[in-house]
Chain A
Amino acid sequence: MNCTMKKLARLRTSGRSQLAGMALCLLAFAGFHALLVGGLPAAESASGSAAAGPAKRGPTGPTVAPLAGEPDSIPSRIGLRHYLTVGALVFGLGIMVIVIRRNAIAVLMGIELLMNAAGLNFVAFSKFVAKDVLDGQVVTIFLIVIAAAEAAVALAITLNIYNNLNTVSVDEADTLKG
């Protein structure tokens, strides 16, 4: 009886936390969009002199940044800075995950987040500033391959540590030779 009550309580709290998560996502989305439509002040001040800064919204619609290639692609107000901001946020959170979490697999997740942020930066730079559009994409494909290899080797090491030391905590696995 007590056990089921505990289980129910845990279920309810987990449902509440998921609801809170969804609300947080919605709030972040709304805030981000409001920020975007209102215009970020740093973008306006920084791109005042640049010829092809992030396009600002005017009364006649968004001003168009010069396009080199396709005439049918409409540029949006989303510029390089926004993608780099996403990359920076994920990078910082990945660093926090790596340093804070103790489970080795969670640390690996943090490393994957770092690599994803780097790949996003590569693709964004190759789209917005690089000479060749595809160089960053090819580098990111190599990065994904390297991430796969790294994940395989790191998980093998984690399994080996678990078999030898019976733990996956990176704080306890501190002997060089188990």
Chain B
Amino acid sequence: MLFGSDVYSELMFGLFAVVAVIPCLFILFGRDIVRQAFWLLFSLSGFAGLYFCLGADFLGFTQVIVYIGGILILFLFGVMLTHRADVAIKTQAGVSNVGAGVAAGTMATALLLYTIWTTPWKETPRVLKETVTPIGEKVMSTFILPFEVVSVLLLVALVGSTYIARRKGGPSREGGSTQS
């Protein structure tokens, strides 16, 4: 257990909770899409820390590797590939439907918080000392069908995204002669 001590773990939870929640506000109110991407980095790091606080060490590292190392870089590539030099960033990253968005988010949060704080949960907290081996056994035994389905889904998503994002320039482009 990484955070064994009582007060220490509470402090860590508070820190990671703030790191996870506050950057969402900056994503919501920010103007620069690149800065929003980097605020997302902080938020995802906060979630990784919360996973560590919950005793899910493998999941925390997976979060760091896949989200921060993969998806965020994908976002930055997307930002760079769709950036228009002639249009200001402010108008590119504009807002609309503010009232509807605030109403929907506030009501969803209020409903969730009301439910969370009025339900009498029967809490029996447990942590495992190490989770990698049991997770591997679970994935290979109980969750073998979702594992296979997810692997096929990942393959389909890779091929499909490559197909969708290809350049449909045709013969006018440089690589056009190889297509025919």
Contacts and interface: CB of A to CB of B under 8 A. Distances in A.
Nearest to A162: B82
Nearest to B51: A123
Contacts of A116: 20, 43-44, 47, 67
Contacts of B9: 74, 76, 78
Nearest to A135: B138
Interface string A97-121: 1111111111011101100100110
A152 interface: yes
Interface residues of B, number: 103
A80 B123 contact: yes
Interface in B79-98: 79, 81-82, 84, 92-98
A46 B119 CA distance: 7
B71 to A, nearest CB: 5
Contact of B10 (A36, A47, A80, A134): A36
Contacts, number: 320
Nearest to B139: A138
Interface residues of A, number: 104
B146 A142 contact: yes
Which of B79, B126, B154 is most buried by chain A, counting CB atoms within 10 A of its CB? B126
Interface string B94-108: 111110111011101
Contact of B122 (A96, A129, A158): A129
Interface SS majority for chain A: helix
Interface string A60-91: 00100111111011111111111111111111
B14 A32 contact: yes
B108 A99 contact: no
B96 A109 contact: no
Interface string A145-157: 1111111110111
B36 A109 contact: yes
Interface of B: 1, 4-7, 9-11, 13-15, 17-22, 24-28, 33, 36-37, 40, 43-44, 47, 50-51, 53-56, 58-59, 62-63, 66-67, 70-71, 74-75, 77-79, 81-82, 84, 92-98, 100-102, 104-106, 108-109, 112-113, 116-129, 131, 134-135, 138-139, 142-143, 146-147, 150, 153-154, 157-158, 160-162, 164-165, 167-168
23 contacts: A28-B18, A28-B22, A46-B120, A69-B128, A70-B128, A73-B127, A74-B4, A76-B10, A78-B9, A80-B121, A84-B112, A89-B24, A96-B104, A103-B92, A105-B75, A109-B75, A113-B43, A120-B47, A123-B59, A145-B153, A155-B78, A156-B165, A160-B165
